[in-house]
Structure 1
Amino acid sequence: MDQNEFIKTYFNLLTEHLIKHGYDGNELIKAVMTGTFAMINNDSGKSNEDIFWETFSSLVDTDEKLVKTFEKFYEEVFDQVEKVTSKDEDVVKIIKILKEKGYTLALATNPLFPQIATFKRIRWAGLNPNDFKLVTTYENSYHCKPNLKYYQDILETLNKKPDECLMIGNDIGEDMIINKLGVKSFLLTNFLINNVNENVDNYQNGDYKKLLELVNEFENLNEGA
C-alpha cells in the first residue's frame, strides 16, 4: 500500500464528511493532526486515545455530536479508503503458514487509529483480526513508533522475550529500530519506507515472495507438542 496515497485519501474523505455535517473541515483537520502528533510523542502513561481526545478537545469545542460524527465516519465512510489499498495473496499465505505452525502473531501497526478502522484495514488485506493475538490500536496502546517503549509494551503483553520474536516491517526508521531491543527483523521491500536514508542491506530484507520462502522453512512449533 502506498502510505502517502492512503493518508491523502483518508484526510480528503474525512474533511468532506465533516463539512457535510456542518463543521469547519480545515479547522478540525488541523486539530486531528495536532492530536496525532501528540499520540506519536505520547509518554504520559495515558492511552493514545485519551491523549488524542484531550489534545483535540483543547483546540476545538468537542461535544457528543462531534464525537458521533467521527464515529459515523469510520462506520460508514472509511471503507472508501480501501480503493487505495492492496491485497497480496502471498501475505495471506504467510499468515496462514505461521498460524498453522503455531506462532503467536501480533499486528504491530502504529496505533494512531481506533480499533474499528484498524480492523477494517486488516480485512481489506484479506486477513482476519482474529489471526492475531494482539492488534495495536489507539485504545490499547500507550506509545507509538518509533518509541522503543511501544515495542516493550508489546513484548510484555505477549509475555515474550526479544530473542523469541521476529519483527516484519517495511519502514526502516520505525520498524527496524526494534533491533535495539534484541529483536531480529525482516525488512519488507514492498512499499519500502526509508526516511532515514539507510542502506537496506543493513538488514535481512526481501519482498513478500522471499518472506514466504523464509516462513516455509520455519520450524513447526506444533510438531511433538
Structure 2
Amino acid sequence: MIDTVMFDLDGTLLPVDTDKMIMDCFMGLSKKLSNLFEPQFFQKMLFASSMEMINNLEPDKTNEEVFFDSFLKKTKYPKEKLMPIFDDFYQNDYKSLGCGITADKYVKMTLDLLKERGYDIILATNPVFPKVAIKERLKWAGVDEKYFSFITSYEIMHFCKPYIEYYKEIIEKLNKKPENCIMIGNDVDEDIISSEIGLKTFLVEDFMINKSSKDISSINHGNYKDMFEFVNKLPYLNKRS
C-alpha cells in the first residue's frame, strides 16, 4: 500500500524553469564574489565542481564535501574565507531570485490533501544546494517546510539525481519500501528513473524536462491539476476526524 509521496522541487512544486534558475544563481554568486574572482572564471569553476558533485558516487562523502573538495582545489582561498560569503548569499541575496515566480494553487492543494489523508511527504529535490536555499525556494512555491518529514540537501546526501543511488539512499535512510512510495517530478531522466527500484511515478508536464526525448506514454503524466487529481485517488490512511 502506498504510504509515502516524494516530490521534486524545481519545475514540480516550484513552477520555474530549472536551467534559468540555476543560471541566475550562478550569476548571483559570481557577482557576490566578484572582488575575489573574475565572474566568467568563477562560473566555470562553479559549474565544474557542481558536475563533479553530481557525478560523484563515493558513499563516504556528502555532496557538500565533494563540491568544496573540488572547488577549493581550483582556488587559492581557504574554505574559512569563502564559506561566510556563500552563507551570506543564500541567507540574503538569494531571496531576490524568487521575484516574479507565481505559486500554483494545485501544489498546496495536493500537499494539504496528502497531509490530511495521513501520507508521509518527502521533498526529494536534487541535493546540489544547501538546505537554506531549498527552504527559500519552498517559500517561493508558497509551501511550508513543515509538510515534509525529510528534505534532501547537499549537507546530508551522498548522491545526486539522475543516479539511482540517490533514491536508494532515501529509501535506506528512512527505512521505506520502494513499492509503497510514489515519486512526483518533472524530469523524465532524473525523477522517473526512481521506477527502476520499484517506486510508482507521476510526471508533471508544465515544466517538463525530457532531454533524452523518451516516450512518456506509459508514464502517469499531466499538468498541475492532473497531479492533484492523481493524488486525490489515493485513499485515507488515517481515520477522518
Q: Deviation at 1:179?
A: 1.0
Q: Deviations over 1:117-150 (max 9, x none)?
A: 0111111101111211111110010000111110
Point out the more displaced range, 210-219 or 49-58: 210-219
Cα contact 2:30–2:37 (8 A) shared by 1: no
Distance 1:84 1:39, change over 3 A: farther
- TM-score, with length taken from structure 1: 0.95
Alignment partner, residue 136 of structure 2: 120
Matching residue of 2:57: 43
Deviations 1:54-81 (A, max 9, x none): 0001111232222211111111100111
Q: Which runs of 5+ in 1 are unaligned?
A: none
State the partner residue of 1:33: 47
User: Structure 2: 5+ residue runs without aligned partners?
Assistant: 1-15
- The 8 Å contact of residues 28 and 60 in structure 1, kept in 2 or not, is answered as no
More helix by share: 1
**What CA distance in whole angstroms lies between the structure 2 residues aligned with 1:177 and 1:187?**
11
Letter in 2 for 1:161: K
What number of residue pairs does the alignment pair up?
224
Amino acid at match of 1:18: L
Shift of 1:218: 1.1
1:86-120, Cα deviation, whole Å (9 max, x unpaired): 31111011001101111011111110001110111
Q: Is the 8 A contact 2:202 2:219 kept in 1?
A: yes
Deviation for aligned residue 1:22: 4.1
Distance in 1, Cα, partners of 2:192 & 2:51: 21
TM-score by length of 2: 0.88
- C-alpha separation in 1, matches of 2:115 and 2:240: 16
**Is the 1:2–1:85 Cα contact (8 Å) retained in structure 2?**
no
CA contact (8 A) 1:2 1:84 kept: no
Q: Does 1:92 align with 2:115?
A: no
Q: Percent identity?
A: 36
- Distance (whole Å) between structure 2 residues aligned to residue 73 and residue 224 of structure 1: 44
Contact conserved, 2:27 with 2:43, CA < 8 A, in 1? no
Structure 1 equivalent of residue 161 of structure 2: 145
Q: Which residue of 2 aligns with 1:7?
A: 22
Determine which structure has greater relative contact order: mean sequence separation of CA pairs < 8 Å that are 6+ residues apart, divided by chain length.
2
Q: Deviations over 1:154-201 (max 9, x none)?
A: 111221111100010100011111111011100111100000101221
CA distance in 2, matches of 1:134, 1:5: 26
**How far apart are the structure 2 equivalents of 1:48 and 1:147?**
13
Secondary structure of 1:201's counterpart equals: coil
Specify the SS of the correspondent of 1:203: coil
- 1:188 maps to amino acid: V
What SS does structure 1 have at the residue aligned with 2:183?
A: strand
